[in-house]
C-alpha cells in the first residue's frame, strides 16, 4: 500500500511538472514587480519571491528540472558503475582488485567537498542551461562508486555460476557473454542502484543550489528555490515559503518508499 501510494504521488508530481507550461500561471522568470514577497492569493497560489516571481510556477518548473535531470544523472552513474564494477567483477583477479581499490579511494573522498571542488572548475561564463546540464552531468560522473561496488559483488557471484559455466561451454566468451548473460542477470541490481541514486542526486543538487553552486538563476530547481529560505525572517509569518521544501520531502520520501520492494535480490 505505501509503495502504491508513493508511486502515485511520484506520477502525479511528475505529470504536474511536465505540464508546467499549461499549469503555471506565469513563466519561471516572469517578474510581477508590483508584488514582491506577496502572500498566497488567487493570482499567486504560493505567493511570490523577493523579486516578484510566482512561486507556484517556479516550483512547477523547478520540479521538472530536478525530476528530469536527476534520473538522467542516475542513468549516467549506473552505466558507469556497470562498466567499472560489472566488468571488474566479471573479469576477477587483478582488474577487479584495481577497480575496487579505485572505487574505495573514490568512496573515501567526502562527497560534498568533491562536488564543490569539481563545480568550481566549471567555467563562469556558461549559459544557465549549460550550467544545469553540467551540474547534473557532474553528479552522474562522480556518483558511480557506491553502485560499482554492489555491481562488482553481483558480477563476481555470477562469474562462478552454473549459468555462465554452461554459456562458456557453448562457446560464448568475452564481451558477448558479459552483455548477454551478466548484464541481463544484473538488471534487478542495476534497476535498484538507479532508483537509489535519484534521491541522492536530488538532495546533492539541493545542497549545491542553496550554497550558490548549483543551477544558476533565473532557472529554478529545488536548490535555487530553497535558497530563498535565506531571506525569510520568520516561518510563522511566511509559512508558504516552505512549499518547495514540502514538495522535496514528499518526492524524496516517495522515492524511498517506492524503492523498498524494488530491490529484487540477485
Q: Contact positions toward other proteins, by CB under 8 A?
A: 101, 104-105, 108-114, 116-117, 119-121, 123-124, 199, 203, 206-207, 210-213, 223, 226, 229-230, 232-235, 245, 248-249, 252-253, 256
Q: Residue 116 is placed in which grid cell?
A: 564543490
Name the residue nearer to other proteins (CB basis): 80 or 248. Answer: 248
* Residue 52 CB burial class (10 angstroms; 0-12, 13-18, ≥19): middle
Q: How far is the CB of 111 from other proteins (least distance, A)?
A: 6
Q: How far is the CB of 228 from other proteins (least distance, A)?
A: 10
Name the residue nearer to other proteins (CB basis): 19 or 105. Answer: 105
Name the residue nearer to other proteins (CB basis): 22 or 113. Answer: 113
Q: How far is the CB of 30 from other proteins (least distance, A)?
A: 26
Q: How far is the CB of 21 from other proteins (least distance, A)?
A: 27
Name the residue nearer to other proteins (CB basis): 3 or 119. Answer: 119
Q: How far is the CB of 230 from other proteins (least distance, A)?
A: 6
Query: What gap in Å lies between CA 120 and CA 131, rounded to an integer?
Result: 12
Give bridge partners of residue 31 from the DSSP assignment. Answer: 53
Name the residue nearer to other proteins (CB basis): 85 or 223. Answer: 223
Q: How far is the CB of 181 from other proteins (least distance, A)?
A: 33
Name the residue nearer to other proteins (CB basis): 177 or 250. Answer: 250
Query: What gap in Å lies between CA 71 and CA 259, rounded to an integer?
Result: 14
Amino acid at each position: 500500500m505505501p509503495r502504491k501510494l508513493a508511486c502515485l504521488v511520484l506520477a502525479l508530481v511528475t505529470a504536474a511538472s511536465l505540464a508546467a507550461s499549461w499549469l503555471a500561471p506565469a513563466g519561471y522568470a516572469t517578474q510581477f514587480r508590483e508584488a514582491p514577497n506577496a502572500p498566497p492569493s488567487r493570482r499567486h497560489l504560493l505567493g511570490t519571491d523577493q523579486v516578484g516571481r510566482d512561486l507556484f510556477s517556479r516550483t512547477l518548473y523547478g520540479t521538472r528540472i530536478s525530476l528530469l535531470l536527476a534520473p538522467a544523472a542516475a542513468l549516467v552513474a549506473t552505466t558507469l558503475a556497470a562498466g567499472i564494477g560489472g566488468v571488474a567483477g566479471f573479469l576477477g583477479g587483478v582488474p577487479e582488485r584495481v577497480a575496487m581499490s579505485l572505487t574505495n579511494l573514490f568512496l573515501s573522498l567526502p562527497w560534498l567537498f568533491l562536488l564543490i571542488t569539481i563545480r568550481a572548475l566549471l567555467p563562469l561564463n556558461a549559459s544557465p542551461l549549460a550550467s544545469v546540464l553540467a551540474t547534473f552531468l557532474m553528479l552522474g560522473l562522480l556518483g558511480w562508486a557506491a553502485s560499482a561496488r554492489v555491481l562488482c559483488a553481483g558480477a563476481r557471484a555470477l562469474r562462478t555460476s552454473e549459468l555462465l559455466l554452461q554459456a562458456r561451454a557453448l562457446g560464448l566468451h568475452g564481451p558477448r557473454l558479459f552483455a548477454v548473460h551478466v548484464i541481463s542477470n544484473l538488471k534487478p541490481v542495476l534497476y535498484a542502484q538507479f532508483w537509489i541514486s535519484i534521491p541522492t542526486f536530488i538532495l546533492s543538487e539541493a545542497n549545491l543550489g542553496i550554497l550558490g553552486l548549483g543551477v544558476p538563476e533565473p532557472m529554478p530547481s529545488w536548490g535555487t528555490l530553497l535558497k530563498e529560505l535565506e531571506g525569510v525572517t520568520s516561518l510563522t509569518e511566511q509559512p508558504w515559503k516552505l512549499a518547495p521544501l514540502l514538495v522535496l520531502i514528499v518526492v524524496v520520501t516517495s522515492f524511498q518508499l517506492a524503492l523498498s520492494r524494488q530491490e529484487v535480490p540477485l
